[in-house]
């Protein structure tokens, strides 16, 4: 757990350009977001151009990591030591964040033009920037307080983005989300206070050394776990997720499902790895809940009437796959090979889901804009007029179903192998049933869309690039599945 999250001293100093790259990934998104609020871009191209330096900075960091191994920065600000680190996992998460973020940003101008968003829409840009910066900080932070600050910033930005549309439903969902996010933060903060009071450490690296199994660490882990699970919408704390996605703008939904909830999950795994190094019960509990999540999310999505509910509930089920892997990630009882397989499968699944879910939200958003209907039944007959949007939906859902040649499949393969090796047959069954349930709700969409007897509607044409961006995301999930060893090599690198 210590080396997996890069909680050790680095061997070499980062190259000079890495400092600038670090600054760029943390500050540039906010800065460019503010610019966006002033200039309100109406085309895709300037957005892409503006995102380029951020992507470049992220790539530079990865290049540096490949050369010198773990990157570590330390500052002494007014007697408080602040440090950041960049390891392979941070690199992967940062890459996903930046690319999905860029895709969502490029999608936004077209979406705003076609949906008559209201006068506050320009503030979407800075909020998006804050969100990306906060996420980047979460992947890099190594102390509980920075993590908390970044988490809070991210949550507030997400709520802000939701409230922008100004619709009463969105306000209601947003306030509820805000309230729950605050409760989650509070639980997290209580846990942190407990740790600070007992061991007097906030830095994760020092915490690893002093923490020992005791009621204090258990209670703290429980508090932190509950808070983060609430924010990550882990079953059964997922109730707020569907209303949020139901009312959010498409790029906001895409960012939220792809990245925001993943950040809490990332922190959960990292902190539990530190606080509960030998845990047996807690990961099992999560795994059992995960199995329920797969079935429950699948069933809800299957029964869903509205497209967005379907996609949102599918997130609940997909998070279940990640939860089921918990016993293989945490605890010292896991033998090395299945542990490593599950570790790779977990992150691959997470990344694949991010790409595919963002693509799916965009495809669904396009379908809703084009048809003017948000229910699944309203799709009847769309296969003739909107084949591309449906195709994107299909490609994205291949990843969600975990069928080849997608990242979802490769991840499922790795997880299944790990579970077979450790003889967790119930988990195996849950994963396989998940595939079938996902297929059931995904193909429901196709069943309606292939209906040729439906009356013809007027379709609103889409802005240029809206389909293309989604297609690229969906295909990226395929590429990730076929070339999985390349990103996964980053996870293994730096394994001191």
Partner 1 sequence: MNAAWLPLTTLAVSLVAAGVIFLLPEDARRLRTSINLLAAVSKIILVTLMVGRVSQGFEDTFSFQIVGGVEFVLRADALGVMFAGLSSLLWLCTTIYAIGYLEGAANRKRFFGFFSLCVASTLGIALAGNLFTFLIFYEMLTLSTYPLVVHSGTAKALAAGRVYLRYTLTGGVVLLLGVVLLYSLTGDHSFASERGLSPYLNDHRGLLTLIFALLVGGLAVKAAMVPLHGWLPRAMVAPAPVSALLHAVAVVKAGAFGILRVIYDLYGIELSVALGVTTVLAIAASITIIYGSLRAIAQQELKPRLAFSTISQVSYVILGVSLFGPFGTIGALAHLLHQGLMKVTLFFCAGNYAEELGIHRIDEMDGAGKRMPLTSLAFTVGALGMIGLPPIAGFITKWYLGVGAIQAQRYWVVAVLVASSTLNAIYFLPVLHRLWFREGPAHGKGEWPNEQCLGRMETHGWLLWPAVFTAVVSLGAGLLAGLPFSPLDWATRVAVGEYLP
Q: Which residues make up the interface to partner 1 (CB under 8 A)?
A: 344, 383-384, 387, 391, 394, 398, 403-405, 409-410, 413-414, 416-417, 420-421, 428, 432, 435-436, 439, 443, 446-447, 450-453, 481-485, 488
Q: How far is CA 76 from CA 24, 81, 82, 239, in A?
A: 20, 5, 6, 42
C-beta of 416: minimal distance to partner 1 in Å? Answer: 5
CB of 329 within 8 A of CB of 269?
yes
Q: 61 to each of 47, 94, 272, 435, how far by Cα in Å? A: 22, 10, 27, 36
Shortest CB 324 distance to partner 1, Å: 15
Q: Rounded to the nearest whole angstrom, what is the least distance from the CB of residue 432 to partner 1 in the complex?
A: 5
- Non-local (6+) Cβ contacts of 330 within 8 A are 1, 269, 272, 273, 276, 277, 279, 282, 283
Contact at 8 Å (CB) between 307 and 375? yes
Distance in Å, CB of 195 to partner 1, minimum:
36
Of 218 and 443, nearer to partner 1 (C-beta) is: 443
| 190 or 440: CB nearest partner 1 | 440
**In the complex, what is the shortest distance from the CB of residue 386 to partner 1, in angstroms, rounded to a whole number?**
12
Please say which residue, 97 or 410, places its beta carbon nearer to partner 1.
410
Considering the complex, what minimum distance in angstroms separates the CB of residue 73 from partner 1?
31
30 vs 442 by CB, closer to partner 1: 442
Q: Considering the complex, what minimum distance in angstroms separates the CB of residue 374 from partner 1?
A: 22
Residue whose entry in the numeric block shows the structure tokens 């969105």: 170
Bridge partners of 280? Answer: none
Q: Which residues of 99-134 are buried (b: 16+ CB within 10 A; e: fewer)?
A: bbbbbbbbbbbbbbebbebeeebebbbbbbbbbbbb
In sequence order, what E strands does 66-153 have? 71-77, 80-86
Nearer to partner 1 among residue 171 and residue 428 (C-beta): 428
Which is closer to partner 1, CB of 333 or CB of 483? Answer: 483
- Which residue number, 46 or 405, has a Cβ lying nearer to partner 1? 405
Residue with Cβ nearer partner 1 (122 or 444): 444
Residue 453 CB, shortest distance to partner 1, in Å, is: 7
Q: C-alpha 317: how far from its chain's center? A: 14
Residues 6+ apart with CB under 8 A from 426: 291
Residue 144 C-beta: closest distance to partner 1, Å: 33
Output 158 or 301, the one with its CB closest to partner 1.
301
**Helices (DSSP H) in 211-333: which residue ranges?**
215-232, 241-247, 250-255, 261-275, 281-303, 307-324, 326-329
- In the block, which residue shows the tokens 């609020």? 37
Query: HSE on the CB side for 413, CA within 13 Å?
Result: 12
If the CB atoms of residues 152 and 451 are measured against partner 1, the closer one turns out to be 451
- For partner 1, which is the closer residue by CB, 185 or 410? 410
Q: Please tell me whether residue 43 adopts helix, strand or coil conformation.
A: coil
Phi, psi of 84 (to 5 degrees): -130, 155
Beta carbon of residue 435, minimum distance to partner 1 (angstroms, whole number): 6
Q: Which two tokens stand for residue 97?
A: 């964040």
Closest of 225, 242, 241 to residue 285, by C-alpha = 225
Say how far apart CA 315 and CA 244 lie, in whole Å.
Answer: 12
CB of 452 to partner 1, least distance (A): 3
């Amino acid at each position: 757990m210590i080396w997996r999250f890069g909680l050790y001293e680095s061997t070499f100093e980062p190259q000079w350009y890495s400092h600038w790259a670090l600054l760029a990934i943390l500050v540039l998104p906010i800065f460019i977001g503010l610019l966006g609020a002033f200039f309100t871009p109406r085309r895709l191209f300037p957005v892409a151009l503006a995102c380029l330096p951020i992507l470049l900075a992220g790539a530079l960091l990865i290049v540096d990591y490949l050369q010198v191994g773990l990157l570590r920065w330390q500052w002494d600000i007014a007697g408080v030591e602040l440090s950041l680190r960049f390891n392979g996992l941070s690199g992967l998460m940062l890459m996903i964040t930046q690319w999905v973020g860029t895709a969502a940003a490029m999608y936004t101008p077209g979406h705003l033009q076609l949906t008559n968003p209201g006068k506050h829409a320009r503030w979407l840009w800075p909020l998006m920037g804050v969100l990306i910066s906060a996420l980047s900080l979460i992947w890099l932070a190594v102390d509980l307080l920075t993590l908390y600050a970044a988490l809070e910033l991210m949550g507030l930005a997400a709520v802000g983005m939701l409230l922008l549309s100004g619709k009463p439903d969105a306000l209601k969902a947003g306030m509820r989300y805000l309230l729950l996010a605050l409760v989650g933060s509070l639980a997290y903060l209580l846990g942190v206070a407990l740790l600070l009071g007992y061991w007097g450490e906030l830095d994760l690296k020092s915490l690893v050394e002093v923490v020992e199994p005791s009621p204090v660490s258990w209670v703290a882990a429980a508090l932190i776990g509950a808070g983060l699970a609430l924010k990550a919408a882990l079953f059964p704390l997922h109730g707020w997720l569907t209303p949020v996605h139901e009312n959010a703008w498409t790029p906001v939904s895409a960012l939220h499902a792809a990245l925001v909830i993943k950040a809490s999950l990332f922190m959960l795994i990292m902190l539990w790895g530190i606080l509960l190094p030998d845990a047996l019960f807690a990961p099992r509990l999560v795994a059992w809940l995960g199995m329920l999540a797969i079935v429950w999310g699948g069933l809800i999505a299957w029964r869903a009437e509205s497209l967005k509910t379907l996609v949102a509930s599918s997130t609940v089920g997909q998070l279940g796959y990640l939860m089921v892997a918990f016993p293989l990630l945490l605890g010292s009882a896991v033998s090395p090979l299945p542990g490593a397989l599950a570790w790779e499968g977990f992150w691959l699944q997470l990344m694949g889901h991010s790409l595919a879910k963002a693509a799916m939200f965009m495809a669904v958003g396009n379908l809703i804009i084009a048809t003017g209907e948000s229910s699944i039944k309203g799709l009847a007959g769309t296969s003739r007029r909107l084949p591309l949007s449906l195709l994107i939906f299909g490609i994205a859902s291949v990843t969600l179903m975990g069928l080849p040649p997608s990242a979802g499949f490769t991840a499922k393969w790795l997880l299944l192998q790990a579970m077979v090796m450790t003889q967790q047959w119930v988990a195996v069954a849950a994963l396989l049933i998940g595939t079938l349930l996902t297929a059931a709700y995904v193909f429901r969409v196709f069943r309606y869309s292939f209906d040729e007897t439906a009356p013809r509607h007027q379709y609103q044409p889409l802005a240029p690039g809206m389909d293309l961006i989604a297609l690229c995301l969906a295909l990226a999930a395929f590429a990730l599945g076929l070339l999985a060893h390349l990103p996964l090599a980053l996870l293994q690198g730096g394994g001191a």
